[in-house]
């Protein structure tokens, strides 16, 4: 995808309108608003729908995405992005902004968090794991295991060891060798 700043030149070269190039009126309108630096809060402007933002996300630089989402959230009563929308936008946001957004979203399921794990910082992921009800979501933990720091894995194994959950063995491949050896010593006793 070309950078959004190149769309006008591309349209001139191809002798097309932005509508024709993008194929949909709403995406073209959104692009034009972004190119003109129009804000949702400007007089007469409707907030840009999150679906429209997702559609044009591959064309926008991270700073423009941040501003667009910020303006959109400011227009909403909840000032919160929904988890599914955030997962679709994650590849187009910088890690620090994504970390900021995700801290405000309640984590209902660790499995849904797995879709964001490659894009958020280890620190944010660790915080979210500890905040969630990990004991009731072993499938979510297993989905997140490749992205977790050793400390978080140790903490989770400790929590699951207390409950006697047999699914804990699913975490073993992700644990450091010395932790596995220590666990084996306790099991042998």
Q: For 57-113, what is each residue's pLDDT tens digit?
A: 887 788 888 888 888 777 766 567 778 888 889 998 989 999 988 887 777 778 888
What is the model's pLDDT at position 7? 72
Q: What is the mean pLDDT of the chain?
A: 77
What's the CA angle centered on 120, arms 148 and 74, to 5 degrees? 145
Those residues whose C-beta lies under 8 Å from the C-beta of residue 100, and which sit 6 or more positions away, are none
pLDDT of residue 43: 44
Rounded (5°) CA angle 136-142-145: 120
**pTM of the entire predicted model:** 0.68
Q: How far is Cα 25 from Cα 179, in angstroms, rounded to an integer?
A: 56
* CA 8 vs CA 2, 24, 33: distances in Å: 11, 16, 13
Query: Of 13-17, 47-51, 97-101, which range is least confident?
Result: 47-51
| Residue 40 pLDDT > 60 | no
| Burial of 158 from C-beta contacts in 10 A (0-12 / 13-18 / 19+) | exposed
Q: What is the pLDDT of residue 11?
A: 79
Q: pLDDT band for 118, please (50, 70, 90 cuts).
A: very high
- Residue 31: Cβ-neighbour burial (10 angstroms; 0-12, 13-18, 19+): buried
Angle at 94 (CA atoms; ends 91, 100), nearest 5 degrees: 110
Nearest to 62 by CA among 117, 10, 114, 4: 4
Question: Closest by alpha carbon to 108, among 155, 154, 140?
Answer: 140
Closest CA to 108 of 77, 90, 76, 86: 86
Work out the average pLDDT over 18-41.
65
The pLDDT of residue 119 is above 90: yes
- Residue count of the chain, please give it: 189
């Amino acid at each position: 995808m070309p950078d959004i700043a190149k769309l006008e030149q591309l349209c001139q070269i191809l002798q097309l309108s932005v509508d024709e190039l993008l194929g949909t009126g709403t995406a073209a309108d959104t692009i034009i608003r972004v190119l003109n630096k129009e804000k949702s809060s400007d007089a007469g402007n409707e907030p840009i729908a999150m679906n429209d933002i997702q559609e044009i996300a591959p064309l926008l630089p991270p700073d423009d995405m941040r501003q667009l989402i910020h303006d959109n959230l400011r227009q909403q009563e909840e000032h919160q992005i929904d988890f599914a929308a955030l997962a679709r936008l994650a590849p187009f946001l910088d890690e620090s902004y994504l970390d900021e957004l995700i801290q405000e979203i309640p984590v209902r399921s660790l499995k849904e968090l797995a879709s964001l794990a490659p894009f958020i910082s280890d620190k944010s992921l660790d915080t979210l794991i500890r905040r969630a009800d990990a004991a009731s979501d072993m499938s979510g933990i297993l989905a997140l295991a490749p992205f977790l720091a050793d400390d978080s894995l140790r903490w989770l194994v400790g929590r699951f060891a207390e409950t006697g959950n047999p699914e804990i063995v699913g975490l073993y491949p992700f644990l450091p060798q010395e932790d596995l050896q220590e666990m084996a010593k306790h099991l042998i006793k």
